């Protein structure tokens, strides 16, 4: 039997499997302690030529590690899959999942306003801002442009404070997301990381997650600017892939329902279509926005992206789910300090570059 492996300078890539058919959750494979891997290119449904082209594409980027999962088994891997690093804004997509059980049992009412639940901040919130609901925050439509405790968003393009009625204007704003984390903890009485450990880490048999590290060092930010810190999360590439596989299976893991199907479908439904994204430059991209998940625009992407969505994070942390192909792509870079745009360009993978990688995965399939 031929072993289709290609050694890499920073790791290796393995040709494994793709089966182009729609399966139900009960027909999917699920990893236990370890991911299962396909062993032949024939079972992979890839062409050798296509995989070599994919290898060339991935190795030309600043990718640190990557996995492609199809039908619950590893279809391709590259680099160091075990090291845990922060996943940047993919944390927000994970938080959307954590909300699910508490929305279902009524602990969290998405229609409650900030005034209802007693939320304010360092510089004070305006009366109009306090009328924003939790739903507005988790869909980035709050109209609140109070400074966030951390950067990495579009607040430089924010309208004047108080100028937008809550629920009417999308802006990717870390204040919304950080406050959503604080509201989760306030209403549930549970630390985000404990909830993450209970809801996902244990049930999904994650291999590398370190709960204590998160409890000790996970939350950061300038609390003089805003009382609400960022709740950073650290996953390995192979554990992040488990999150994607859970999403692909609409909340079911190896026969056990962890999240309501309706909630999973809700958070990856389009709330803000691509045409309504702000600032204007964002409308040139591939996505609309749901509940802290980026949703591929159905009119401007290839048919393979139908129903697809992604978590996206700084430096090049991506979790892409392609339901039509029963495929999950987990991608990580190695975050490092940088002092110039030139240094930053050497350590990140931009979304257009990641889209090139995803397209190379799709092109590698055998005709």
Q: What percent of the chain has pLDDT over 70?
A: 91
Mean pLDDT, rounded, for 264-278: 97
DSSP string, 139-170: TT-----PPPSS--SSGGG---TT-S-TTS--
From CA 328, how far away is CA 342, in angstroms rounded? 31
Residue 22: predicted pLDDT: 43
Mean pLDDT, rounded, for 47-61: 91
Q: Is the pLDDT assigned to residue 23 strictly greater than 90?
A: no
Beta bridge partners of 289: 272, 294
| Mean confidence (pLDDT) of the chain | 91
283-304 per-position pLDDT tens digit: 989 999 999 999 999 899 999 9
Which pTM does this prediction carry?
0.92
From CA 302, how far away is CA 283, in angstroms rounded? 17
Q: Is the pLDDT assigned to residue 239 strictly greater than 50?
A: yes
DSSP 288: E
Q: Is the pLDDT assigned to residue 311 strictly greater than 50?
A: yes
Residue 156: predicted pLDDT: 94
Three-state SS at 303:
helix
DSSP 295: E
Radius of gyration of the chain (CA): 20
Neighbours of 244 (CB within 10 A): 25
Q: Is the pLDDT assigned to residue 352 strictly greater than 80?
A: yes
Q: Is the pLDDT assigned to residue 1 strictly greater than 60?
A: no
Residue found by looking up tokens 């990856």 in the block: 268
Residue 44: predicted pLDDT: 65
DSSP 332: E
135 band by pLDDT with thresholds 50, 70 and 90: very high
14 band by pLDDT with thresholds 50, 70 and 90: very low
Supply the CATH classification number for the domain 90-220: 3.40.710.10
From CA 198, how far away is CA 211, in angstroms rounded? 10
Domain with CATH 3.40.710.10 in the chain: 90-220
Contact between 93 and 196 (Cβ < 8 Å)? no
**Angle of the 237-248 helix axis to the 90-104 helix axis, nearest 10:** 40
**Structural tokens at position 328:** 């999950």
Residue 367: predicted pLDDT: 67
18 band by pLDDT with thresholds 50, 70 and 90: very low
Stretch (H or E) spanning 296: strand 294-296
Mean pLDDT, rounded, for 184-206: 98
Mean pLDDT, rounded, for 221-238: 97
**Structural tokens at position 17:** 């499997």
Q: Is the pLDDT assigned to residue 11 strictly greater than 70?
A: no
From CA 366, how far away is CA 45, in angstroms rounded? 5
From CA 276, how far away is CA 139, in angstroms rounded? 13
335 band by pLDDT with thresholds 50, 70 and 90: confident
More confident residue, 199 or 15: 199
**Which of 12-26, 31-45, 86-100, 141-155 is predicted with the least confidence, judged by mean pLDDT?**
12-26
Q: Is 179 left (phi over 0), alpha (psi -120 to 50) or beta?
A: alpha
Stretch (H or E) spanning 234: strand 234-235
Residue 75: predicted pLDDT: 87
């Amino acid at each position: 039997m031929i072993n289709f492996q290609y050694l890499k300078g920073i790791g290796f890539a393995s040709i494994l499997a793709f089966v182009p058919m729609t399966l139900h959750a009960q027909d999917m494979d699920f990893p236990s302690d370890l991911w299962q891997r396909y062993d032949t290119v024939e079972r992979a449904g890839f062409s050798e030529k296509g995989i070599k082209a994919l290898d060339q594409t991935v190795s030309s980027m600043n990718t640190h590690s990557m996995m492609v999962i199809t039908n619950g088994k590893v279809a391709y891997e590259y680099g160091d899959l075990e090291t845990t690093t922060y996943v940047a804004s993919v944390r927000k997509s994970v938080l959307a999942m954590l909300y699910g059980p508490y929305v279902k049992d009524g602990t969290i009412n998405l229609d409650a306003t900030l005034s209802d639940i007693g939320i304010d901040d360092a510089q004070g919130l305006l009366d109009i801002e306090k009328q924003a609901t939790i739903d507005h925050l988790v869909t980035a439509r709050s109209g609140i442009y109070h400074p966030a405790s951390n950067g990495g968003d579009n607040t430089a393009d924010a309208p004047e404070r108080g100028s937008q009625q809550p629920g009417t204007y999308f802006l990717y704003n870390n204040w919304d997301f950080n406050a959503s984390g604080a509201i989760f903890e306030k209403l549930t009485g549970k630390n985000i990381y404990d909830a993450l450990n209970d809801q996902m880490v244990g049930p999904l048999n994650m291999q590398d997650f370190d709960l204590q590290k998160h409890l000790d060092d996970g939350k950061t930010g300038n609390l003089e600017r805003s009382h609400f810190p960022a709740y950073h999360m650290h996953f390995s590439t192979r554990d992040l892939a488990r999150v994607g596989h859970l999403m692909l299976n609409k909340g079911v893991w190896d026969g056990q329902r962890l999240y309501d199907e309706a909630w999973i479908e809700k958070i990856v439904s389009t709330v803000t279509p691509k045409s309504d994204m702000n600032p204007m430059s964002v409308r040139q991209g591939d996505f609309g926005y749901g509940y802290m998940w980026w949703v591929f625009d159905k009119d401007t992407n290839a048919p393979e992206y139908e129903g697809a969505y992604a978590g996206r994070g700084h430096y090049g942390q991506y979790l892409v789910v392609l339901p039509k192909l029963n495929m999950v792509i987990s991608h990580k870079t190695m975050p490092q300090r940088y002092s110039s745009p030139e240094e930053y360009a050497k350590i990140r993978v931009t979304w257009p570059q990641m889209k090139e990688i995803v397209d190379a995965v799709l092109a590698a399939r055998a005709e």
